[in-house]
Amino acid sequence: MALDRNTPNDLNAFWMPFTANRQFKKAPRLLASAKDMHYFTTDGRQVLDGTAGLWCCNAGHCRPKITEAIQKQVAELDYAPPFQMGHPVAFELANRLVDIAPEGIDHAFFTNSGSESVETALKIALAYHRARGEGTRTRLIGREKGYHGVNFGGISVGGLVNNRRMFGTLLAGVDHLPHTHLPENAFTRGQPEHGANLADELERIVALHGAETIAAVIVEPMSGSAGVILPPKGYLQRLRDITKKHGILLIFDEVITGFGRLGSAFASQHYGVTPDMMTTAKGLTNGVIPMGAVLVSGEIYDTFMTGPEHMIELFHGYTYSGNPVASAAGIATLETYREEALFERAAEMAPYWEDALHSLKGARHVIDVRNTGLVGAIELEPLPGEPTKRAFNAFLQAYEKGILIRTTGDIIAMSPPLIIEKEHIDQLIGTIGEVLATLD
């Protein structure tokens, strides 16, 4: 059957994720192709990608090296079972990942998404304590406004009410740290001054339950999905100190912050704080093939490598863990990042990006601007009685004017591919300025 890529004859069957389905299907926004910094729509328009797809196409779109690696791999070894079998490509990718990870993080467990990376990390945390004879450590600590994907572990430790309220009782034994979205930090360039003390809330939770009941704390080093909430200065180090003091594992969810977004390979290096585990996905394959990885410390890995050698050490894994085609995409992606020095490029562009974003201070409806690396957020005053609508209208108008942004609540969030040029930044911010000037 020939597939006309431009004109689906019916939009009904596909129940779209995290989408206002009825609204979308009345006025669809369909993308037909992409190249570097741009999407091209089915109605023939060029749209500047201000979001790297969904925080994932860090090297830009349809990059030849990645495309060719996938084509070659799929023709050579399309699939290999990952349980009790292996293939060289996944091992190679694991080596290359730990090469760019912080010191001491030296093993990779492959998954297929950020959500699966989170579930995997939480399970490893529980099993790690159990393997060490500390099976009472079952409690998991997340943070308000955290986003850790959509599976049960992730929404339990996550802190976005709409992602939680419809889905029953979630995991038992989960507590939350307070979020760090503080009004006194409005319009801060980079890391805010206020709020490091909020990490001390972990001491309160420890005092409430006893350290011996707590397995792990998971946070995004920089909260992306909640609308770009940066860690206050000193906050992550305090979390590190308190977790270490009490024998609690610290997990950084680097699904968004990994692979150069903040100007270093990982946020961990950017902020100079090393967790025990890091969850990744998205930029790992430039978003091209679904894949995630949990990066873990040698100490955690070694804890499992005991007992009879013929025994499986961790009863966990996915049919597509370390899939050959995804692994080939991952290797080609990491090579592209390195050859084009894209992490360094993000750091070099960050000051220009920061200035451009903060030029919107004083624009209509703007109540905060936040930035780090090549991430930016513009927070709008909500329309009275209609939260989210003003920002969503901005998104629709911006798309009509040829730029793709994202909104979450009343916050415009941007995370362009790391290959962005200054004129693209000017176009993005200029267009948002125009939209805000006329927006209700």
Ligand X SMILES: Cc1ncc(COP(=O)(O)O)c(C=O)c1O
Contact positions vs ligand X (CB under 6 A): 55, 113-115, 118, 147-149, 220, 224-225, 253, 255-256, 281
Please tell me the distance from the alpha carbon of residue 247 to that of residue 264, in angstroms, as a whole number. Answer: 28
Q: Residue 391 phi/psi, 5° resolution?
A: -65, -40
Least distance (Å) between residue 332 CB and ligand X = 19
Closer residue to ligand X, CB minimum distance, 294 or 332: 294
User: Taking a C-beta distance cutoff of 8 angstroms, is the pair 134, 247 a contact?
Assistant: yes
User: Taking a C-beta distance cutoff of 8 angstroms, is the pair 381, 200 a contact?
Assistant: no
What is the number of H-type helices and E-type strands within the chain? 15, 15
Least distance (Å) between residue 147 CB and ligand X = 5
- Name the residue with the smallest CB distance to ligand X: 114
CA-CA-CA-CA torsion sign (244, 256, 263, 187): negative
Alpha helices in 246-297 (DSSP H): 267-271
Least distance (Å) between residue 281 CB and ligand X = 5
Closer residue to ligand X, CB minimum distance, 66 or 436: 66
Least distance (Å) between residue 112 CB and ligand X = 8
Closer residue to ligand X, CB minimum distance, 224 or 322: 224
- Strand-pair category, 214-219 with 249-253: parallel
User: Taking a C-beta distance cutoff of 8 angstroms, is the pair 58, 283 a contact?
Assistant: yes
**Cα atoms in the 13 Å half-sphere on the side-chain side of 316:** 20
Alpha helices in 56-172 (DSSP H): 64-76, 88-100, 114-131, 152-157, 161-164
The single residue listed with the structure tokens 């009490």 is 246
Closer residue to ligand X, CB minimum distance, 60 or 292: 292
Q: 178: which DSSP letter?
A: P
For residue 413, what are its two tokens? 């969030």
Please tell me the distance from the alpha carbon of residue 119 to that of residue 416, in angstroms, as a whole number. Answer: 27
Residues paired with residue 177 on neighbouring β-strands, in sequence order: 143
Closer residue to ligand X, CB minimum distance, 374 or 435: 374
Least distance (Å) between residue 141 CB and ligand X = 16
Among candidates 152, 82, 417, 128, which has minimal Cα distance to 261? 417
Least distance (Å) between residue 61 CB and ligand X = 18
Least distance (Å) between residue 414 CB and ligand X = 14
Least distance (Å) between residue 439 CB and ligand X = 26
Least distance (Å) between residue 116 CB and ligand X = 7
Residues paired with residue 295 on neighbouring β-strands, in sequence order: 108, 278
Question: 10 Å Cβ neighbour count for 64?
Answer: 9
Closer residue to ligand X, CB minimum distance, 114 or 192: 114
Q: What is the 3-state secondary structure (H, E, C) of 10-37?
A: CCCCCCCCCCCHHHHHHCCCCEEEEEEC
Closer residue to ligand X, CB minimum distance, 239 or 436: 239
Closer residue to ligand X, CB minimum distance, 131 or 320: 320
Closer residue to ligand X, CB minimum distance, 211 or 271: 271
Among candidates 260, 270, 27, 250, which has minimal Cα distance to 141? 250
Closer residue to ligand X, CB minimum distance, 61 or 148: 148
Least distance (Å) between residue 109 CB and ligand X = 15
Among candidates 223, 246, 226, 242, which has minimal Cα distance to 234? 242
